[in-house]
Structure 1
Amino acid sequence: MIKAVIYDMDGVLIDSEPFWRQAEVESFKSVGVFITEEMCYQTTGLRIDEVVAFWYQKMPWEGVSQSEVADLILKNVIELVEKKGQAKEGVLESLEFIKKQNVKLALASSSALVLIKTVIAKLGIQNYFEIVHSAEFESYGKPHPDVYLTAAKKLDIEPRFCVAIEDSVNGIISAKAAKMKCVAVPENGQEGDRRLGIADAVISSLNGINDSLWEKLI
């Protein structure tokens, strides 16, 4: 039985992962840390403070705090979303389909709440979600399950009756650790990652959320 569907945001509702990679490469460069967009895949799905801590541990810098770098990255991503942000294929169709199933809808993201609000306003989908929750309010971000567990608690639904929709391996691990079912919608170029196999289903776009998939999840 499915009582709720909880969407991840970055890479699921909006093609913002390229924005994150661009912002990270440029922001880290400003403190003398040179990473490539390919290297950014190592931290996809993590909370921004954890991304910054990850690279600081590998290539520590001086003069600028980790929180300042995180704030700069977030600022740059918000600007890119406001200028270029677009809904991913099938977003509205999937939201409408799930709405017709008479289950609750929520959003649980590693991104800061200010970015979540920016994205759902940009896409015009804020009215679909009963609750939105950010991992910035948790002790740990994904792949820890906390953000999903709190979202389920806010919905007053047991995690085992929830389905998470994720694009990253860290996100899938988070959802499965919360004892939820998970549908993976991998980013272009990541479809061959064998780790996606821990998801209950893998689809190429949100248009894959249909009667056939729903029956499989039930």
Structure 2
Amino acid sequence: MVKLSELSDKQLDPRECQYRLNGKIRKIISKCLDKQDDHDDCDDENKDLALDKLKTIMDQEEGNKQMVSYDDLTEIHKCLQHLDSTYQLFFYQLLEETNTIIPKNNKAPELKARLARLKCEAAAKEYKAMTDGINLVPSNSKQNQASANSINEVRQIKTLITALINGVMVVFCSFFFVYKAVEYSLPQPNINVQILVAIIVTSIIAIAELYFFIRVM
């Protein structure tokens, strides 16, 4: 018999064990049972039920070599909470106040390993059955993809419009610049020559702008 926290097998299910109460817990239980006559005079039905339940469990414990099951220990904890206001233990602390008796069928490591493996396989099959046919892609992924595509299209359109406006401004500015440059370079203004030279230079610049505009597209 050992404390539950001292067990070397941390995978042991506490519900499969038997427990033996120590003197401290027995003293608290005896105090509650000794007050049974006082509780009989009160109208607290919950306390009466708790007393009856506690007495039944302790009677069974006497006939079971002073051992209680996990479920009985849980009921003892609930009854003490109802009956004794000084009882401040949590359930895990109550487990530590008892001696744990490991069932004999849990002492075979081969059987225990096989049961653990079967439990893992059953859990894996259950998980696979639950997840089969489930689309792991979020349901709103198509909407998100469509929204992302729309944003990219808007950005591309903005880029093209910006490039187009920039090209038109460059062509017009180039025409005006060449026109004035030829005018200042001639002894006498010659509109035909100015326009011809401006058109030639502007055409070259327009072709270059068109090339870069196509690359952007």
TM-score bucket (shorter structure): under 0.3
If the length of structure 2 is used for normalisation, what is the TM-score? 0.26
- Normalized per residue, the structure richer in helix is 2
In terms of Rg, which structure is larger?
Answer: 2
